[in-house]
């Protein structure tokens, strides 16, 4: 149960484990989280920080969030606790074919014009930044294979990155509960997934062909520079930048422009938009932007 906050007093926020967080502890951790992930948590996320990090305190046998903060800052030279803290605090909501209009745009505009272009650079390179547990990346792979059936892992390359190592290992395993099958069109489900058996009973498994197109790696988008050298045809960075402050968002848009081929596309989440970069990107659809310049 969560009780309302009382400024500065321990006992202000309770969770099931009876751990409490003071306003000062919340402010310290909130700043630490923003510095390391870019995620700018608002004042009313105190209960969320308390509950999501409570398992880390329990893991270390700590009673106070201030002690956990000291652990992060002074007693984590290898950065292992930083990774565990990030895995606990991040939000991973995603779906297969989420915000379907982007997949339609790829199918109807991007892939046909790429195939027609005699000077196209190969392979076709997609980046799913902030990919979460893989649904977005595998949806991209299915869309690409459907639109360009003669292509394979040699001419379609999908990089899928996230800051969270737990969601990435889930993504790389490519095993999902059967209930998610409703998000995938029937024909694609049959073509690209297997029905789980024995220990995977009740699950669906991504087929090796689909997996071969996607490469999962950990990447914190705040890292500068990014380790990729080749430019992308399309970047999906959806439903993350909304949590960043305006300055960090602008910085991301500039860096993503630098990571795209001329004429390449940047897809954002439904409530995200680029403001004031008209000389760099132009809007070509809902939360869909094209980098200016000839492809
Ligand atoms: C809400 S999910 C979005 C998943 C997917 N793009 C979609 O729209 O369905 C946001 C993801 O961003 C990741 N994330 C948070 N901070 C990040 C950062 N600084 N760098 C890279 N990924 C980050 C989280 O771990 C989470 O998996």
CB atoms under 10 Å from CB of 190, counted, come to 11
Split into its structural domains, the chain has a count of: 2
SS3 at position 162: strand
Specify whether 125 is located in the same domain as 66.
Answer: no
Tell me which residue of 216, 192, 219, 214 sits closest to 204, measured CA to CA: 192
Q: Which two tokens stand for residue 229?
A: 């050298």
Please tell me the pTM assigned to this model. Answer: 0.93
The candidate with the shortest Cα–Cα distance to 81, out of 92, 91, 70, is 70
Peptide bond into 60 cis (omega under 30): no
| 13 belongs to a structural domain | no
Report how far apart the first and last C-alpha atoms of the chain are (Å, whole number): 55
Task: Indicate which residues carry an active-site annotation.
Answer: 52, 162
In a domain, 51, yes or no: yes
Are 105 and 85 members of one domain? Answer: no
Residue finishing a domain among 45, 60, 89: 89
Summarised one tens digit per residue, pLDDT across range 158-169 is 999 999 999 999
* Per-residue pLDDT tens over the stretch 73-95: 999 999 999 999 999 999 999 99
* Residue 6 lies inside a defined structural domain of this protein: no
Residue 244 above 80 pLDDT? yes
Task: Look up the domain containing 62 and give its range.
Answer: 23-89
Of the three residues 89, 110, 132, the one that is the final residue of a domain is: 89
The answer to whether 247 touches 275, Cβ cutoff 8 Å, is: no
Domain contains 115: yes
40: domain CATH number? 1.10.155.10
Q: Find tokens 């939360």 and name the residue.
A: 287
Claim to verify: residue 53 and residue 192 sit in the same structural domain: no
- Same domain? For 137 and 252 the reply is yes
Query: Does one domain contain both 233 and 197?
Result: yes
pLDDT, tens digit, 9 for 90 and up, residues 49-59: 999 999 999 99
Residue 16 has pLDDT above 50, yes or no: no
Rounded mean pLDDT of the chain?
A: 93
Q: Rounded to 5 degrees, what angle do the CA atoms 257, 259, 264 make? A: 65
Residue 2 lies in a domain: no
Q: What distance in angstroms lies between residue 11's CA and the mean position of ligand 1's atoms?
A: 32
* One domain for residues 47 and 168: no
In this prediction, residue 201 carries a pLDDT of 97
Taking CA atoms only, the protein residue closest to ligand 1 atom 19 is: 37
| Domain co-membership, 110 together with 81 | no
For ligand 1, residues with CB inside 6 Å are 37-39, 90-94, 98, 130-132, 136, 162-164, 167, 220-222, 238-240, 269
Greater confidence (17 vs 94) lies with: 94
CATH number at residue 110: 3.40.50.150
CB-based contact 156:133 (threshold 8 Å): no
At residue 267, what are phi and psi to the nearest 5 degrees? -105, 130
Residue 168 alpha carbon to ligand 1 centre in Å: 11
Beta-bridge mates of residue 237: 129, 268
Note whether residue 159 is domain-resident: yes
């Amino acid at each position: 149960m969560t009780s309302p906050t009382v400024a500065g007093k321990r006992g202000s926020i309770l969770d099931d484990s009876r751990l409490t967080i003071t306003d000062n502890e919340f402010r310290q951790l909130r700043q630490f989280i923003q510095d390391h992930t870019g995620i700018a948590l608002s004042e009313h996320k105190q209960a969320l920080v308390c509950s999501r990090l409570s398992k880390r305190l329990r893991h270390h046998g700590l009673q106070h969030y201030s002690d956990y903060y000291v652990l992060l800052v002074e007693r984590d030279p290898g950065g292992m606790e930083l990774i565990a803290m990030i895995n606990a605090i991040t939000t991973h909501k995603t779906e297969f074919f989420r915000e379907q209009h982007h997949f339609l745009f790829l199918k109807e505009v991007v892939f046909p014009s790429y195939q027609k272009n005699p000077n196209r650079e190969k392979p076709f390179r997609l980046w799913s930044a902030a990919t979460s547990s893989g649904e977005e990346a595998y949806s991209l792979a299915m869309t690409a294979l459907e639109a360009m059936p003669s292509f394979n892992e040699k001419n379609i390359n999908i990089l899928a990155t996230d800051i969270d190592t737990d969601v990435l290992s889930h993504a790389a395993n490519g095993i999902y509960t059967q209930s998610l099958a409703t998000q995938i069109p029937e024909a694609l489900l049959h073509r690209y997934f297997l029905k789980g058996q024995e220990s995977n009973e009740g699950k669906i498994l991504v087929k090796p062909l689909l997996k071969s197109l996607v490469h999962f790696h950990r990447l914190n988008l705040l890292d500068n520079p990014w380790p990729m050298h080749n430019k992308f045809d399309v970047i999906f960075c959806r439903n993350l930048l909304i949590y960043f402050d305006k300055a960090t968002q602008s910085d991301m848009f500039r860096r993503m422009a630098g990571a795209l081929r001329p004429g390449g596309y940047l897809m954002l989440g439904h409530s995200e938009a680029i403001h004031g970069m008209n000389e760099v990107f132009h809007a070509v659809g809902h939360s869909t932007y094209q980098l200016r310049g000839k492809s």
